[in-house]
Structure 1
Amino acid sequence: MDFNVKKFASDAGVFFTRAVQFTGEKLGQSEKTELDAHFENLLSRADSTKNWTEKIFRQTEVLLQPNPIDHTGARIEEFLYEKLDRTVPSRPNNGELLGQYMQDAAKDFGVGTPYGSTLMHVGDCERRLGSAHREFLQTSAISFLTPLRNFLEGDWRTISKERRLLENRRLDLDSCKARLKKAKLAESKAACEGEAVPDFQETRPRNYVLSASASALWSEEVDKAEHELRVAQTEFDRQAEVTRLLLEGISSTHVNHLRCLHEFVEAQTAYYKQCHLHMQDLKKELDSSNGDVFPNAFAGKPGHSMASDGSSSPGKAVDPLDVASTVETDTLKIEEVQAPATGTRKAKVLYDYDAADTSELSLLADELITVYTVPGMDSDWLVGERGNQKGKVPVTYLELLS
C-alpha cells in the first residue's frame, strides 16, 4: 500500500510539473524546445494523411452503403456477431429484393402474359445486379476499406501514443532546463553574498556562515539538476528517434494505400462492366419478347420512341410524311453525306458509345468531334466526323460547343 501511495504521489508531482511547464509556455513565460524542420514536416504530413484517410474512408462507406440507417444497423449487427464469434447471416440486398418481388408478381399475373413475362425478365436482371453489387461491396471492403480502417485504428493509434509520449518527454526536458537555470542563478547569488569579508569583531558573524552553507546547498542542487537534465535529454532523444521512425513509415502507408486504391478502381470497373452486360442482355430479351407488342419501345436509341415528338399520342393519326421521314433516315447512306459549307460545330463527347452498326460512329468520352445535321435526319441524331471516320452519333452523348 505504501508503494502505491508513493507512486501515486510521484505521478501527481510529474503531472503537476508538466502542467506548470505547459502553462508557462502558453503564457510565454517558459522556454520551449523546438523540433527540427524535418521532424515538423513529418508531423504535418502524418496529420494530413490521417485527416484525409479518415474522410476518404467515411465517404467510401457512404458510397457503398448510402442509407445511414441501414449502414448503422449493419455495422451493429456485424459487431455483435463478431463478439459472439459467429458468421453474419447472408440477407438479400435491395436489388435482390426488388428482383424477387418482380418475379413473384410475374407468377401471380401469369408468366405467359406480356406484363408477367417482362416482369420475370427484369426481375431476373435486378437479382443479378444485386448479386453483382454484393460481390462489389465485399471486394471493396476487403481490398480498400479494411486497409484504411487498419491504418486509422492501428498504425495511427501507435503514432498518436508515441507522439503524446514525446510531448511529455519534451515537457520534462524543458522543466529540467528551467530548474537548472533557476538553481544556477540561486548559486551565483549565494556565491556573491559569500564573497563579502566578514567582520569578526562583530558579536554575531552569522551571515558569513549562512552564506557559505547556502552556496554549498545550491551547488548540490545544481549538480542534481544537471544530472536530471542529462537523463531527461537522453529519454527525449530516444523517444524522438522512435517517433521519427514511425512518422517516416507514412511513406510506406501511402504506397500501400495506392495499391489498395488501384484494387478499388479495378473492383468498380468489373462491377460496372458486369452491370452493363446484364442490362444489355435484358435489353435483347425485351427486344425479342416484346417487339411485337411495343415496336421500337426498347430500341435503346434516342429518337426511336413512338411519343418522342407527341405525334403518336393516343387518338391522333400518324402523319405519312413522318413515316416517310423515318424511313428516309433509316435508309440514309452515311458515306454519301457531305458536310455542309456552314453549320458544322465542335462537340465534346460526354460518354463512351459503341456503334450498333456501320452507319454509326463509336465515341470515346472527352474526345472532340465535328458534328452537323442533314435534311430528313432525326433530331436526336447528328452526323459526326473524326478524321476520315464518319457516322451517326446520338445528341444525348454530346456537349455542343459554341
Structure 2
Amino acid sequence: MQAATHAATHKAIAAVWRIESARIVAVVARMTRDIGVAEELAQDALIAALEHWPRDGVPDNPGAWLTTVAKRRALDHLRRDKLQADKLEQVGHDLQAQEALVVPDFVDALDAARADQIGDDLLRLIFTACHPVLSADARVALTLKLLGGLSTQEIARAFLVPEPTIAQRIVRAKRTLGDAGVAFELPQGEALAERLASVLEVVYLVFNEGYTATAGDDWMRPELVQEALRLGRMLTGLAPAEPEAWGLIALMELQASRAAARVDDAGRPVLLADQDRGRWDRLLIRRGLAALERAAALGGADGFYALQAGIAACHARAAQAAQTDWAGIAALYGRLAQLAPSPVVELNRAVAVGMAEGPAAALVLVDRLQDDKALRNYQWLPSVRADLLGKLGRHAEAQAEWLRAAGMAGNGAERTLLLARAAQAAAQG
C-alpha cells in the first residue's frame, strides 16, 4: 500500500514539475542572473519534493511549494558566494520580500503582482535564452529545455538530429550565457526585433510538443499548448506591428481549436479526417482567423507562420472534411516550400496533392523523399506512404510501412494508432 502511495506521489511530482519547472527557473534566474545556476537550484527544489512529499503528502499548492524552496535555495546561494555582493545589492528589494516568505499564499500574491506583460519572468527567460551571443540552434534548444521542461531526447526528436548534438548545444549555451554575463531582462528597440524571430520559433516548437507529444503515453500535453498560446499572445502585445507574431498566434489558435476532437473518450488519437468538427472550439477559430487577417493587413500574408496559418484556416473553414480546399492547401504548401525549403513541408504538400489529385500523384512525391537523411527517423514519412499505398490497394506494402512507422514512434498513443492501422491493412489484404 505504501509503495503504491509513493508511486502515485512520484507521478504527481513529475506532472507538477512538467508544468511548473519553467516558471521556477525563470523566477530564480531573475534573482541569480544566471540561467545555469537557476536550473540547478530548481532541480534542488525538485529533489526536496521527492524527499518530503512521499512522507508529508502533496501540498495544496505544489507549484508554490517548489517555487518557495527554489527561492530559498537561491538566497542561500547568493549569501554563500561573497563574489555575488553586487548581485545581492541589485536584487535587494526582492530579497527583503523573500525573507517574509512563510506561506504559499504569499508566493501567489508576489507572482500575481509580477504577472504583467512587461514584468513576466517567463518571457524574460525566453529572451535571455535567445540572446544573440548564442547560435540560432543553441537558442532554440536551450529555451525548449527551460520553457517546456523537455528532455534532451524530446528536443532531439523535434529537431530530427542526434541526441548528443542537442546535449552539447544546451551545455555550451548555458556556459556561454554565464561567461558573457547576459542580463536577465527584456530587450528594447532594435534588439527586440533582432531576437523576436528566434523567440517565435521556440514558442511554436513548444506548441508542437504540446500538440503532438514526441514521447510518453499521451497524445497531447495540454499545459504546453496553453503555455505557448499565452506566450504567443504576449508577443503580439510586445510587438503589435510584427506580422509574424500575429501569424504565429493565428496558427496556434487555429490548431488548438481542434484539441477536444483530437482524442476519443479513451484518450486515443483521432486523425483530422475522422474528427467531429462540432467539437472544434469556434472561439479559438474566430481568434485565429482574426489574427491571420491582422498579419495580412501588416503585409505578412506570405510569412512563414502566416502561410501555415492559412493552411490551418482552410481546414477551419470546412464544415466537413469533404469540403476541404485541398488544391488551395497544396498551393500554400508550394509557397511555403519556396520560402523555407524543407523535406517535412514537401511531405505535407504531398499529402495535400494526394487529396486533390489522387494517391498515385502523391506517391511519386513521397518516394522522392525516401532517401532524405533528415526524414530517416521521421515516422510520418512511412505513415503517409502507407496511407497512399492502402488507397491504391497495395495493402501488404501498406502494412509493412505502418509497422515501420510504429517502430519509429516515441509516443505510446501514436504507436498504438499506427499498429492499429497496420492491423487494418493486414485485414484488407
Query: Aligning the two structures, in what range does the TM-score lie when normalised by the shorter sequence?
Result: under 0.3
Q: Which has the higher contact order (CA 8 A, sep 6+)?
A: 1
Provide TM-score, normalisation by structure 1: 0.23
Which has more helix, going by share of residues? 2
Which has more strand, going by share of residues? 1
Provide TM-score, normalisation by structure 2: 0.22
